[in-house]
Amino acid sequence: MKRWLVIPLLFSSTFCLFSEEKVNEAKKFINEAEERLEKKWIEAERINWIYQTYITYDTSLIASNVNEELSNLTMALIKDSTKFTNVIKDPVTDRKFKLLQVSVNLATPSDSSKSSRLAKVATEMESIYSTGKACVDGKCYSLDEAIKILADSKDYKLALKLWKGWRDAVGPKIKPLYSEYVSLSNQGAREIGFADVGELWRSRFDMPSERFLEVVDALWQEVKPLYESLHCYVRGRLSDYYGDDLVPKSGYIPAHILGNMWAQDWSNIYQIIAPPEFRRKMVSIKESLNKKGVDEKGMVKYAENFFVSLGFEPLPDSFWERSMFKRPRDREVVCHASAWNIDMKDDLRIKMCISITDEDFKVIHHELGHNFYQRAYKDQPPLFRAGAHTGFHEAIGDTIVLSITPSYLKEIGLIEDIPEGWDLPFLLQLALEKVVFLPFGYLIDKWRWEVFSGKISEEKFNERWWELRKELQGIAPPVERTEKDFDPGAKYHIPANVPYIRYFLAHILQFQFHKALCDLAGFKGPLHECSIYKSRKAGEKFIEMMQKGASAPWMDTLAVLTGAREMSAKPLLIYFSPLKKWLDSENKKYGYKCGW
């Protein structure tokens, strides 16, 4: 006999009837979908690993094919899942459906010709970006070469030529394709129940799309005063260095002189803007690593030992056998650092061309954060094997990096003495990386959300881009830009269709995690001096949070570690409070006029 579930609709006297047969059908569908996806995920992961560590025409073709197959399977399952939208399910099954339905970055239309065209457009945009050259005075540079020159050179005119050359090379070619991409991907998003791609992306955060917009903006408003003080100081110092005619002491900073192609990280201009006494107090481990003969695997061992000191199990033997730690001499590879879990269980790996430097020492800790997180939630069902939200995954390893303090480095023998007065130089350099990134991390997707929603027309793409950069970052283009240009296309994540707000959220969360872990470890001093190394009590809670994966709303998962159900920038502000006080004092001393 057929049984029925009778559920009253909220705010209504109407009753909806769902047969037990329909509920069981929904469970059967999602369980089979997980099985099919897990199999294809593992296949795609193996093939993409081969491609990225052994680039040939054939491996590229095989990887392209499996990625297309995975995309088609996912979209087909998402569209099939919509027939269960109005079926009331148990909480676990319901969450699996929701996660499946927001699991794609690129939603393809059902029409095969449109789907095929969208795939071609996406490939063409990435190809234009990856093959672009910044040409200066008859000589052309790859993006990597241009980035290195910008990082090292203090030549105002050369930096301008490289900045403009890169944007001229890729933007105008990408713009017409990007407009087509927006139209086609929005069609795909609407077919699976979303107003546009922006709403699809924002719907991954366990709250209504409009509420998420409010949360992100509130976080930005929290950190804005700190950013404004830093911007004020940097602009004043750059004006002193280059002269008022090139960098006025009020208004916007020219975008090309901040040591980074996108002005998203200003740490490369530290030597210009830091007081001379600060430069003598910087802590570096590169010389010590070389003296000790530490090789690439040795660098990774330091990072593994930190996690093990917290109570994590050591990495499996297969990690050391199968990872790529340095650039091979006999073949082309993708050197961009990344962490992998090939079988979604224990086949953990990193892929990285490691240099024996301070920077790569930190990057390795970041990548292992992904690996230890992946293993922590490996026993969850396939759709729950992910971060609580995308910002969590990026924040785990960076949280550990915050514990790489001078006291920790001394304890493990990488420095002999802690320089007196190291705090402010350290905080200034870190702020040029972490605090500076926040408005940039916000504006990338803020611009895209407006594009996807139709708020910005194609005729205003570049105008709105620079409005946001001026409004949020206080920077401006060094030369006139028009709608013939497409400066958003000069940032990889735009043509490559990679959501970006995760990085903004990660920069907030890592400080929130750090404070909670330091409290658990019983640390009582200034937050920036805390290292949780060897704290099993902190590690126990960290692991407990990580084990949940995506099985619960991120608010519940956050509360496991922090006791709070909201993301907050207050720990970040506490961490940088000594720097904020110093910046305000310096700005007052030099008479720098803040704001723009």
Q: Annotated catalytic residue: which of 76, 151, 195, 337?
A: 337
By C-alpha distance, which of 523, 511, 438, 507 is closest to 472? Answer: 438
Q: Annotated catalytic residue: which of 34, 199, 304, 394?
A: 394
Give phi and psi for 349, each to the nearest 5. -155, 155
370 in catalytic set: yes
Q: Annotated catalytic residue: which of 231, 256, 365, 366?
A: 366
493 in catalytic set: yes
Range in 52-56, 174-178, 420-424 with the lowest mean pLDDT: 52-56
Q: What is the pLDDT of residue 17?
A: 44
Question: For residues 60 and 511, is the Cβ–Cβ distance under 8 A?
Answer: no
366 in catalytic set: yes
Kindly report the pTM of this predicted structure.
Answer: 0.93
241 in catalytic set: no
Residues 386-407: what's their mean pLDDT?
Answer: 96
The structure tokens listed for 26 are: 């929904």
Question: For residues 527 and 515, is the Cβ–Cβ distance under 8 A?
Answer: yes
- The yes-or-no verdict on residue 212 having pLDDT over 90 is yes
337 in catalytic set: yes
The more confidently predicted of residues 97 and 3 is 97
Q: Annotated catalytic residue: which of 336, 359, 463, 540?
A: 336
Which of the 8 DSSP states describes residue 105? S
The crossing angle, in degrees rounded to 10, of helices 390-401 and 501-520 is: 50
Q: What is the pLDDT of residue 181?
A: 95
Distance of CA 114 to the CA centre of its chain: 30
Q: What is the pLDDT of residue 85?
A: 86
Question: For residues 259 and 251, is the Cβ–Cβ distance under 8 A?
Answer: no
Provide the mean pLDDT of the chain: 93
Domain ranges in the chain are 21-101
pLDDT digits over 289-339, tens only? 999 999 999 999 999 999 999 999 999 999 999 999 998 988 888 888 899
Q: Annotated catalytic residue: which of 231, 256, 365, 370?
A: 370
Q: Annotated catalytic residue: which of 493, 529, 559, 564?
A: 493
503 in catalytic set: yes
- Measured CA to CA, the distance from residue 300 to residue 364 in angstroms comes to 6
Q: Annotated catalytic residue: which of 503, 533, 575, 592?
A: 503
Classify 88 in phi/psi space as left (phi over 0), alpha (psi -120 to 50) or beta.
Answer: beta
Q: Annotated catalytic residue: which of 45, 199, 304, 367?
A: 367
